[in-house]
Amino acid sequence: MEEILESCHVVPTAPDFTDCFPYSRKDGTDPLALDSLPQCFFCRKSKRICGTKVVDFGKGRKVRLISIPKYDETHSMVIINLRTLETSTIVSKHCPQ
């Protein structure tokens, strides 16, 4: 996730190593390029329960990285406090089989 943010591109290996339809906006810019850093960056289907860390990109630019696990395997959910960007994990006790 850090490498995606450092490259400022959602799919940095496209179209060379990842299939992606090549296109651009009317003004010629790449729609998959990030114009600015988000406060939170999510990745789903993580193999861990809930991975989270804050990365400092300098000049006051900090991003919380959050890896969200597969619900059907872990029965857990991630909650984020939008004011503080702190995360918590909730594990469901009553899961359908």
Q: What phi and psi, each to the nearest 5 degrees, are found at residue 89?
A: -115, 135
Residues 37-83 have pLDDT tens digits of 899 998 887 666 567 888 888 888 889 998 888 888 888 888 889 88
Q: Which residues contact 46 (CB under 8 A, 6 or more apart)?
A: 67, 68, 69, 70
Residues 11, 18: Cα–Cα separation, whole Å: 8
Residues 59, 43: Cα–Cα separation, whole Å: 24
pTM for this structure? 0.71
